[in-house]
Structure 1
Amino acid sequence: MIGRAGLAALVAAVALAGCTPAQAESVVRLPAATFDPAVKASRATAIFAGGCFWGVEGVFSNVKGVIAVESGYHGGSKANASYDRTSTGTTGHAESVRITYDPRVISYGDLLRILFSVVADSTLKNRQGPDSGPQYRAAIVPLDAAQRKVAAAYLAQIGKGGYFAKPIVARVEPYKAFYPAEAYHQDFMRRHPSNAYIVRWDAPKLAALKRLYPAMVRAKPAP
C-alpha cells in the first residue's frame, strides 16, 4: 500500500487522468480448475498473497464457503512481521491473507480462480495496482501436497489458455509461517468503505467478483 500521506495525491491524480474504478485492476474471467479433487473435510486453510491485503481480504470475505479471512505477513521472520518493517520490502514478507473455508462449498481451485480473476494480476512481478515492491507480489502458499498440485496445475492451465497478454509470474511459495497483521488492518475494507484507497483500488475488485461469479458471493461478509 502507498503511504497515507500519498492517498489524497493519488486520488486527485486519478481524477485528473479520467481513470474510472473499472480500470483499477485487470479483470479476466477465468475457467474453473480442471484439476481440483474434492476434499471431504468441513474446514481447510489457504494462504495467498495478491498485493495490498485490504482488498484481498475484502474480496475473499465475500465468497460463499469462506468462514474467516485474516490479513497478515508470510515469507519472512517473526521479528520482521510488522507493517512498518514489511513496507520496506526487505523482510521477505508479502502482505498475505489466511483464509478458513469449507471445501464442501468452495474448492481450493475456485479460490485460485477468484484470486487471479479479480484480486491479483498474475502477470505483474512485485507489484499490484499502485503498490510496488516484493511485499506486494502475487503468490500461492500451499499448505499440503494436495494444494500444491492444484496450484501448479491451475497456473499451468491458465498460462496455456491465452487469457493474458504477458507471461504469468505469480509463483508457488513454500509455507514458512503466517503472522497476523496489526488489528487496524483487519476487516479494513468492511470498516472503512469510504477510504480513498479502498474506493479507488479495492471496491472495483469486489464489484468484479459480484459481476463475474454471482453464485459464489455470500449474502453477508465473513467475519
Structure 2
Amino acid sequence: MAVPTIPEIVLHSATPTSGLRRLVVSNANPDPEPPYWAYNWAGGAVLARYFLDHPEVVRGQRVLDLGSGSGIVGIAAAKAGAIRVIAAETDRNAIVAQQLNAALNGVVLTSMHADLTTGPALDVDFVAVGDLFYAPHLAQRVLGFLDRCLLADAKVLVGDPGRADLPRARLQLIGEYSVPDFGLVTGATINAGVFALI
C-alpha cells in the first residue's frame, strides 16, 4: 500500500494477519525484538518526503541509507535520481523486505547486512539516517560513524521527530513535515525534521 503522506512510494506493510511473527519467533528465541522495519517511522518518512520534494539534493549522488529498515529512504533517494543507493541494516528480514519493496517501486537498492557503526566510512557522497537516536548507546555509536563520514567528505542528513538522544547541538534544521510514526493511531501524524549534521 502507499505510505501515508508519501503516495509516490508503496511498501509491503505489516498487518495483524501478515504473519510477520513467524519470521522472528523460534524455539531458540521465543521473545525476539519486534520487526521495527515493518512499520512507518517518522525519521524515515520525513527523509523520504524531503528527497522526493528536493531531488536535486541526491540526484547523481552515491547514497548510504544507514539503518534502512524497509528501505523507504533509499527508495526515495533512488526515485529522486541517486546513482547508487546502499541500504545498510542489521536485521536479515529487513534486507528481504527492502529488496521486495525496491522491486515494487521499480528501483534498485544494494542491500548490506552489517552494523556499519563500528567501522570506517564508506565511499559515498551522502549519508541518510532516520530514527537511530532513540537510545544512548546506539546514538553514540551512530554519531561516531557519522563523524567519520563527515571527515571523508560525505554530507549527512538526519530525519527525526525529536527523540531523546538526538544530538541537537550538532544539527541544522533544513526541512520539516507532518508524517506518520510508529505507535501513532492510523492516519495520525507528527512533525519531524530533516537536519544537516554539522
> Fold match, TM over 0.5?
no
Which structure: greater helix fraction?
1
Higher relative CO (Cα under 8 Å, sequence separation at least 6) belongs to 1
Which structure: greater strand fraction?
2
